[in-house]
Amino acid sequence: MRLLILIYLAFISLGLPDGVLGSVWPVMRLELGLPLASAGLIGAIGSIGTVASALLSYRLINRFGTAKVTLVSVLLTSIALFGYSISSSLPALMLFAIPLGLGAGSVDSALNNYVALHYEARHMNWLHSFWGLGATSGPAVMGLVLSLHLSYRAGYRTLAVLQLLLVVALSASVPLFERPKKQPIESNKNSQGPRKKHKALPFALLGFFLYCALEVSTGLWAVSYLVEVKGLLPGEAALYGSLFFLGITSGRIVSGFVSMRISNTKLIYLGLGICLVGLLSLSISPLPFAGYSLLLLGFGCAPVFPSMIHETPRRFSIESSQRIIGLQMASAYIGSTLTPPLFGVLGTVVGLRWMPLMQLSILLLLFLCMVMLGRLTKVNTL
């Protein structure tokens, strides 16, 4: 139980920096004299580091173990946040974005695989709800610091200290990770050979890419859709936009309990079905129901990502799960990186009115990926 609590805390720390730069950038860029678009460059460098560390996670974990990789990853995050607090130029911020990205990718892959192997599906869903808690807490901490008339630099230092405290806790708990644990799952020992599993891998990777495309596009453009298409005022639309993330966080808590009754695969299809209803409601419903549709859409998204991860060692094998989860995390981060500019271009060319249709297309492709993945790995789809 002590180890599980630490893993939950580590996922809070993973989410903690995610929304901070965006929340503090209006203040930060004015003090540093930087253009508005610089935040995108800093974020892109961090994303590249995250993809690289996710791809390398298999080798790193095999050599050093989950505990040490997690420990160093959180330490890198702490160093990066402190680095942001002392940076006075764009090159310095770009430099510290590298360890921030490297730390995120490794700890994400390491802990997702560890929980997929050693714990039940409910813990995977709850684990990702703790990421949501961290992603919510980071901007809240920064907002509190700014409300006390302190500099954003003090906010970054506060977050760095919180990460450092977790490093201390993790360093004292390394033996807990290394203690042998019972595997609650069995490898996928069906009659198909490695060739069919190899054919299934592209669908597994594409599924993560498409899910992140759906989640990130909604999180980034839904508020603009409510303003430009539905005619809401920006302040009202922002409040409705927050319902999407509330739906994801609360939905993962609920999914943890539901997963005790139904399989990961059924939970994925249930979530995709709720997403379909949410997107249709967003598109055709009048206000305020269109705004509330974002809560439903977030609730539908909630179980999909953690359930896909938890199912990985069952679809493939225990032995290959760390390598495949590392590839899946890299694919997810690539989807998160490419989707915002792509939707921005499409929104400019065809208009945001068509955003729900574009998202429905992503949802349909994701559904087809899950069907093909189930067939190739002989996991029941219903």
Look at residue 154 in the predicted model and tell me its pLDDT: 93
User: Hey, CA dihedral for 274, 279, 281, 286, is it positive or negative?
Assistant: positive
pLDDT of residue 173: 76
pLDDT in tens, 151-197: 999 999 999 999 999 888 888 777 777 654 555 555 554 434 555 55
Residue 269 CB-density burial (10 A; 0-12 exposed, 13-18 middle, 19+ buried): buried
State how far the Cα of 321 lies from the Cα of 330, in Å rounded to an integer: 14
The pLDDT value given to residue 197: 59
In whole angstroms, give the CA distance from residue 334 to residue 209.
Answer: 7
Q: The pTM is what? A: 0.79
Separation of alpha carbons 56 and 28, rounded Å: 32
Q: Which domains are seen in the chain, by residue range?
A: 2-178 (1.20.1250.20), 194-377 (1.20.1250.20)
Q: Which parts of the chain have pLDDT scores under 70?
A: 178-198, 378-382
- Could you give the count of Cα atoms lying within 13 Å of 291 in the half-sphere of its Cβ? 20
pLDDT score for 380: 45
Contact 227, 280 (CB under 8 A): no
